[in-house]
Amino acid sequence: MNLLALLKRELALAWGRGGGPLLACAFYLAMAALVPLASSPSPERLAAFAPGSAWLALALASLLSLERLFERDFEDGALDLLVLSPAPLELVCAVKCLAQWLAAGAPLALMAPFISIALGADPRLAPLILAVSLIGGLGFAFTGGLGAALALGARRGGVLIAAIVLPLFAAPVIFGGGAIEAFSAGLGWTSGLTLLAAYSLAAVALCPFAMAGACRNALS
């Protein structure tokens, strides 16, 4: 009941003023539009790395709204209130990341197949790209939350978050990209997807403990 109220509030805050998710989606679209300009507009060459570029751009776009995840609640004192509740702080952090995934990760994931196809990817890849983006996005939201919690109280937290989180994105980017690459080459792609799912589940299971520790440290 309480945690549901928190989830609703987090979603309302994410969708409220400032339009965080829309901003991330616009950023994603703009990055994708730059890919053919930066490399080659020829359809054959573009098609070869279209899914990979779409996947990488998604990973970067999911960094965008992380700064607000804990920072705002920390600055205005709402984090105090969130701690002073019967719910464990670990669960509070997990709910915040879940809301981040629902509000920002899911819209980005829905865009990913369209962006890949627009860049020239094989339309048969669309379902796999959607699955990879949804599953990977969950991992991005939780590892991103870890970076956001660790950067609490730092000036220019956004850059710090990117510096903390991007190295942690290496594994899921490889697994997801590998699955898409294998599928388009007609090879077995399930192992890549399974590893990606394993990474995301591990992030969901472990990151809340680290986030709660980082929040307690920032508040003390």
Partner 1 sequence: MIAALTIEALALARGGRVLFEGLNLGLSAGEAVALAGPNGSGKTSLLRAIAGFLRPAAGSVGFSGADGTLDPEEARGRGLHLVGHQDGLKPGRTAIEELTFQAVWTGGTRDSALDALQAMELGGAAGLEVRMLSAGQRRRLALARLIASPRPLWLLDEPMAPLDAARRIRFGEVMAAHLKSGGLILAAVHDDLPVPARRAEIPA
What sign does the CA torsion over 164, 165, 171, 177 have?
negative
N-term to C-term CA, the chain: 28
| Chosen residue from 5, 22, 187, 206 binding partner 1 by CB under 8 A | 5
Taking each helix axis from N to C end, the angle separating 126-150 and 170-184, rounded to the nearest 10 degrees, works out to 180
Residue (32 or 79) nearer to partner 1, CB: 79
CB 131 within 8 A of CB 62: no
Tokens standing for residue 65:
């709204």
Q: Compute how many other C-beta atoms are within 10 angstroms of the C-beta atom of residue 173.
A: 19
Binding mask 9-28 for partner 1 (x = CB under 8 A): x--xx--xx-----------
Residue (11 or 210) nearer to partner 1, CB: 11
Least distance in Å: CB of 140 to partner 1? Answer: 25
Q: What share of the chain is helix, strand, coil (3-state, %, to 5)?
A: 85, 0, 15
Residue (80 or 122) nearer to partner 1, CB: 80
Least distance in Å: CB of 150 to partner 1? Answer: 18
Residue (92 or 168) nearer to partner 1, CB: 92
Least distance in Å: CB of 9 to partner 1? Answer: 5
Least distance in Å: CB of 151 to partner 1? Answer: 19
Residues 52-111 that bind partner 1 (CB under 8 A): 72-73, 75-87
CB 180 within 8 A of CB 129: yes
Q: Which residues bind partner 1 (CB under 8 A)?
A: 1-2, 5-6, 9, 12-13, 16-17, 72-73, 75-87, 216, 219-220
